[in-house]
A and B are shown apart, each in its own frame.
Chain A
Amino acid sequence: DQQVKQNSPSLSVQEGRISILNCDYTNSMFDYFLWYKKYPAEGPTFLISISSIKDKNEDGRFTVFLNKSAKHLSLHIVPSQPGDSAVYFCAPSRSGAGSYQLTFGKGTKLSVIP
């Protein structure tokens, strides 16, 4: 049972344009959402997070939007740069017991074309 779905396995974007990566979840207990970025042959690197009490969190070129009613979040990267080419994982968690258990989606491979 897939609690976290990233329905686009891959995405190609021109350098300088906006990249939008989507994530849907089914578990209403999730209340903290993280995005990780992963380069080949490396481990995931924490990118940005958002708590369920917010609907937007911004950090430089990266913004995450959360729509709790739709159980949907998205990561916006603008402007996209070639160095952003990586696999992006959505990883929700829940507070309380088991909060350390991150539930990863399958990832979206972003390719930023120079």
Chain B
Amino acid sequence: NAGVMQNPRHLVRRRGQEARLRCSPMKGHSHVYWYRQLPEEGLKFMVYLQKENIIDESGMPKERFSAEFPKEGPSILRIQQVVRGDSAAYFCASSAGVVETQYFGPGTRLLVL
């Protein structure tokens, strides 16, 4: 049973470009969460999605960031017009239910030059 998959594992972008991060939850999981870890910090909650619905995006920056979890395919975290401050590790987690344990993927390390 494969765990949470994230790709790419590493992503380099220049300022102003777009970054697309993908997350495939564990089989049977329909709840997806995105967290961001800035250097020397703990993980910070960004957004919680279920299939085709954003449930809570209270942790998302108001501009340039968006997330989706379509009926088919992986969840996507999209960052438009990236800036150097977006450089971080982005982790996706999934769970079978909202009160169930969250299982994390290996993360995508984004570097903005």
Q: Which chain A residues have a beta carbon within 8 Å of chain B's beta carbons?
A: 4, 34, 36, 41-46, 49, 89, 91, 98-107
The chain B residue sitting closest to A107, CB to CB, is B42
Knowing A104-B44, A106-B41, say if A43 contacts B4 (CB, 8 Å): yes
Contact A43 B45 (CB under 8 A): no
Contact A4 B42 (CB under 8 A): yes
The chain B residue sitting closest to A89, CB to CB, is B42
Q: Which chain B residues have a beta carbon within 8 Å of chain A's beta carbons?
A: 4, 6, 9, 31, 33, 35, 40-45, 48, 56, 58-59, 91, 93, 95, 98-99, 101-107
Cβ contact of B102, chosen from A102, A103, A107, cutoff 8 A: A102
The chain A residue sitting closest to B92, CB to CB, is A43
Number of A-B contacts (CB under 8 A): 58
4 nearest A-B pairs in the assembled complex, by CB-CB distance: A43-B104, A104-B42, A104-B43, A101-B45
The chain B residue sitting closest to A95, CB to CB, is B99
Can you list 28 pairs linking A and B with CB atoms under 8 Å apart?
A: A4-B42, A41-B106, A42-B106, A43-B91, A43-B107, A44-B43, A44-B104, A45-B104, A46-B101, A46-B102, A91-B43, A98-B56, A100-B48, A100-B95, A100-B98, A100-B102, A101-B45, A101-B58, A101-B59, A102-B43, A102-B102, A103-B42, A104-B35, A104-B42, A104-B44, A106-B40, A106-B41, A107-B42
